[in-house]
Chains A and B, each alone.
Chain A
């Protein structure tokens, strides 16, 4: 079968470079760079820590720790793409976390009784709604009153941190509902091995089916197609990454005591010498993946996303084309707030407590993740997958340094340098090939 498009009507052929050709098959070479950087970091730390980095336990924890930042980074990409910034996400996370903690520990037990089966869902929805409202408020100030986002969200950074303290006059609230805690990961937040396999296989099926559908559609219109080998390789890599993640998560064995309790709780008997049960994928990691998929869909397949990128490329052009730029901007900040709400639940559940210091400095990690992931602060350019990888790179650096015993001040120095270096390299790349 031939893999080229039908011959163009005109014989004109433009000279094309490698970058053009990669773009033609809709493949971003920068992603290869990100994955390579991640591989260097992982193997480097593994070597420095005598094999302690690339263990199921460490990788499992690494993914759980990345989830909260990765989720917020998805929203931050859209914010930065529209040429704005949100400095308030860390403080918002603290504020939303406190309100959720208060409602869950003090209010809902009075209304519904302790440990009501819907407490976790009510908490999550409340967090998303509250975060969304706060985001919409900030977005409206930015879009309709034309106050620079830097200033509005800098104000927000102070306001929401203060508000977080105000909720309980600084008291920490604990413990959380037992059905809410899985949102933060930990042993109760692991879904088990069989469910993990099921999800992994389903994801692989979606990847392959999606690739096939897109290919069929492009073929029907007679567009240029990726070479079949490239198509298979890309889908294969995606599936391999998913299955590797499942394998690693399943290889992280529950502590014997926990496994025994689990077996006995289900009415089984604990065999002599015991046997091993894997953790499986963690709930926050699945939430982060879900958010990544949803936001990518929003950004690539819906009008909203198209407008977000067009506004980033040329706000005036978007407006002259009839796009309601103010509404879109407000919604972008609202969406950012909803994602902060999800992350607030993950952080609160993970800590099993709501504290007013939760999320401190998160705004910087979130922005750094987006920027390392190839989001341009000039606006108009950025990918969700890149930002999530960026979050993973940042978290890998930090966990790795903790693992090999780097002092805390030095950790910050390294992360700061890496951030600057990454943006410089990205700029170089763009200048050469963009």
Chain B
């Protein structure tokens, strides 16, 4: 295998099992600009990995490659140790990779059930949409996330920010996701709703789901994440266990690209 072996993982996870997701040496360029340049990240089952960096550091682009929205120019993706090709969102979903986008990616003009089952509609025996079953399932999954939710018949544009977030999350977890990608999940939420999302993340983690948490705000993710990977100018600065580093050290990685001793330096680390 010519592509680098998971050194990062070996050092941060001595003696653990197979990673759920490995992204190795991923690169993608848009019009000559390398948005992601040789980035490697990985994720274990039941682990929360925070992906940090300034706006434009390449973290959202990297993760969109995993969710099938973009196709990498080079590099490889492994799921459960097996190399896979993810060339469309449909591929990603087939591997159990679900994404909650920063924009939520909801069709505003249709109701919650239509959004949750979009692209994966339940059908009756005659091949027609089984709206009754979809609504019933929607009531169940929304009941877990947001027990007060009642507006099942309304287009989601009529819902509040938190309710819309719930719909986006419901869509991601309904189909037994194994990997959840959350891009700035709390950017549009108030403190109470942010706390709710944090509780949900812990609950999903307990079920063995691996979670990528993307944020430009360190404080959002530091307490939730087991590890953080910091990106700068499309390259990985380094990866560290949150237990081994301080918030200030991670902040230093984000701002200046300086890798603390407890972190495993990546290609984007400041050369000293």
Binding site for B on A (CB under 8 A): 8-10, 12, 14, 20, 23-24, 26, 217-218, 220-221, 223-224, 300-303, 306, 309-314, 316-323, 380-381
Q: Shortest distance in angstroms between A25's beta carbon and chain B's nearest beta carbon?
A: 9
Q: Which residue of B lies closest to A305 (CB)?
A: B129
25 A-B pairs (CB sep. < 8 Å): A8-B150, A9-B147, A12-B148, A20-B154, A23-B153, A218-B132, A220-B132, A301-B128, A302-B127, A303-B123, A306-B129, A310-B114, A310-B118, A313-B110, A313-B155, A314-B107, A314-B108, A316-B103, A318-B107, A319-B89, A320-B89, A321-B105, A321-B120, A322-B88, A381-B109
State whether A221 touches B136 (Cβ < 8 A): yes
Q: Shortest distance in angstroms between B140's beta carbon and chain A's nearest beta carbon?
A: 11
State whether A320 touches B99 (Cβ < 8 A): yes
| A9-B147, A317-B107 known; A323-B119 Cβ under 8 A | yes
Q: What chain B residues lie within 8 Å of A306 (beta carbons)?
A: 110, 114, 118, 121, 129
Q: What chain A residues lie within 8 Å of B67 (beta carbons)?
A: 320
Identify the 8 closest CB pairs spanning chains A and B, nearest first: A313-B107, A313-B109, A380-B109, A322-B119, A321-B119, A322-B90, A317-B105, A310-B107
B208 within 8 A of A: no
Q: What chain A residues lie within 8 Å of B101 (beta carbons)?
A: 320
Complex: A312 Cα to B107 Cα, angstroms: 8
Binding site for A on B (CB under 8 A): 67, 69, 88-90, 93, 99, 101, 103-110, 114-115, 118-121, 123, 127-129, 132-133, 135-136, 143, 147-148, 150-151, 153-155, 171
Q: What chain B residues lie within 8 Å of A223 (beta carbons)?
A: 132, 135
Complex: A311 Cα to B108 Cα, angstroms: 10
| A221-B136, A310-B107 known; A10-B148 Cβ under 8 A | yes
For the residues of B in contact with A, the DSSP-based class is loop
Q: Shortest distance in angstroms between A318's beta carbon and chain B's nearest beta carbon?
A: 6
Complex: A223 Cα to B108 Cα, angstroms: 23
State whether A309 touches B107 (Cβ < 8 A): yes
Q: What chain B residues lie within 8 Å of A323 (beta carbons)?
A: 118-119
Complex: A310 Cα to B147 Cα, angstroms: 26
Complex: A8 Cα to B139 Cα, angstroms: 11
Complex: A380 Cα to B107 Cα, angstroms: 9
Complex: A300 Cα to B129 Cα, angstroms: 8
Complex: A313 Cα to B107 Cα, angstroms: 5
Complex: A131 Cα to B93 Cα, angstroms: 37
Most buried by B among A8, A220, A381: A8
State whether A314 touches B99 (Cβ < 8 A): no
Complex: A2 Cα to B154 Cα, angstroms: 24
State whether B132 touches A317 (Cβ < 8 A): no
Complex: A320 Cα to B70 Cα, angstroms: 10
State whether B109 touches A10 (Cβ < 8 A): no
Q: What chain B residues lie within 8 Å of A23 (beta carbons)?
A: 153-154
Q: 4 additional contacts, CB 8 Å, given A300-B129, A302-B129, A320-B67?
A: A221-B135, A313-B110, A321-B171, A380-B107
State whether B110 touches A310 (Cβ < 8 A): yes
Q: Which residue of A lies closest to B92 (CB)?
A: A322
For the residues of A in contact with B, the DSSP-based class is helix
Q: Shortest distance in angstroms between B182's beta carbon and chain A's nearest beta carbon?
A: 14
Q: Shortest distance in angstroms between A429's beta carbon and chain B's nearest beta carbon?
A: 15
Q: What chain B residues lie within 8 Å of A309 (beta carbons)?
A: 107, 109-110, 114
Complex: A71 Cα to B257 Cα, angstroms: 63
> Of the candidates B89, B118, B128, B132, which one forms a contact with A221 in the assembled complex, judged by CB atoms under 8 Å apart?
B132
Q: Which residue of A lies closest to B101 (CB)?
A: A320
State whether B153 touches A317 (Cβ < 8 A): no
Complex: A219 Cα to B176 Cα, angstroms: 29
Q: Which residue of B lies closest to A214 (CB)?
A: B132
State whether B154 touches A321 (Cβ < 8 A): no
Complex: A79 Cα to B260 Cα, angstroms: 56
> Of the candidates A8, A303, A317, which one forms a contact with B106 in the assembled complex, judged by CB atoms under 8 Å apart?
A317
Q: What chain B residues lie within 8 Å of A26 (beta carbons)?
A: 153
Complex: A375 Cα to B132 Cα, angstroms: 26
Q: What chain A residues lie within 8 Å of B128 (beta carbons)?
A: 301-302
Q: Which residue of B lies closest to A220 (CB)?
A: B132
Complex: A14 Cα to B148 Cα, angstroms: 9
Complex: A14 Cα to B101 Cα, angstroms: 28
Q: Which residue of B lies closest to A310 (CB)?
A: B107
Complex: A24 Cα to B89 Cα, angstroms: 33
Q: Which residue of A lies closest to B106 (CB)?
A: A317
Complex: A10 Cα to B147 Cα, angstroms: 7
Complex: A152 Cα to B251 Cα, angstroms: 51
Complex: A381 Cα to B103 Cα, angstroms: 21
Q: What chain B residues lie within 8 Å of A217 (beta carbons)?
A: 132
State whether A314 touches B106 (Cβ < 8 A): yes
State whether A316 touches B154 (Cβ < 8 A): no
Complex: A233 Cα to B115 Cα, angstroms: 32
Q: What chain A residues lie within 8 Å of B105 (beta carbons)?
A: 314, 316-317, 320-321
| A12-B148, A312-B109, A320-B101 known; A24-B127 Cβ under 8 A | no
Complex: A20 Cα to B151 Cα, angstroms: 9
Q: Which residue of A lies closest to B124 (CB)?
A: A301
Complex: A14 Cα to B154 Cα, angstroms: 13
Most buried by B among A14, A23, A224, A313: A313
State whether B129 touches A321 (Cβ < 8 A): no
Most buried by B among A12, A309, A317: A317
Complex: A155 Cα to B104 Cα, angstroms: 37
Q: What chain B residues lie within 8 Å of A8 (beta carbons)?
A: 150
Q: Shortest distance in angstroms between B148's beta carbon and chain A's nearest beta carbon?
A: 5
| A309-B107, A380-B109 known; A14-B89 Cβ under 8 A | no
Q: Shortest distance in angstroms between A270's beta carbon and chain B's nearest beta carbon?
A: 50
Q: Which residue of A lies closest to B91 (CB)?
A: A322
Q: Shortest distance in angstroms between A221's beta carbon and chain B's nearest beta carbon?
A: 5
